[in-house]
Amino acid sequence: MLRPRIIPCLLVKDRGLVKTVKFKDSKYVGDPINAVRIFNEKEVDELTVLDIDASVNNREPDYTMIEHLAAECRMPLCYGGGIKTVEQAQRIFGLGVEKIAISSVVIHDPSLVTKIADRVGSQSVVVIIDVKKKLLGGYEVYINNGSKATGKSPFELAQAIQEYGAGEIVINSIDNDGMMKGYDTVLARKMREAVTLPLTILGGAGCLEDIGGLINKFGIIGASAGSLFVFKGIYKAVLINYPGSEEKDHLIKSNFNY
């Protein structure tokens, strides 16, 4: 039976592990390879690694880094950053990555979703939609690491992506990124009503109760977080962490009606 997933999301810049706040002010917090090794020991459900500068700087994915990450990773790995062609995606899969994530390129060429899905299967194609609240209400899609507004509705885009054959959608709240004050559950609810695809929510988790609350509201869903699994305590000391198996099972079972 499908279960909710709890997914650490690691941001990489210049091969270093970083954290951002509202997609800005990236702070170096360590070596992503070391983080992967720790997450291996903690038996995480799956891991997402995003190279946040690849698309902005219009460069190819860092295949050497990806190969090293995949070689260390003992859980399903999703990689995103700089992927613009089917050939790039296939090369990354060949390095041992289970899923690839695409984002900005989908705005310009949504057919890429179909092309990659036709080659490797829909289950391996994840589309990340970066979303920001509009001043007068509603939500808007942003691209290029949150630096460029598109004028597009995230809900209409998600519905189109579903038709193009994506296997999963990740909704990333720019407003909540790094704030650790909870998920945007209104955004999550509207997106859950818009599409039937597997859905993961990212941005804002500050404690395990936030994850439990998300699962309680939406059932089978991916709850992803960055700061929560990288920082510890009110002073945000860098400490890679993840709930133990008993704690995670309790969190899911107590908040999810089978």
Query: What amino acid positions are annotated as catalytic residues?
Result: 130
DSSP β-ladder status, 168-173 and 125-133: parallel
* CA distances, 172 to each of 4, 16, 177, 239, 253 (Å): 17, 21, 8, 23, 25
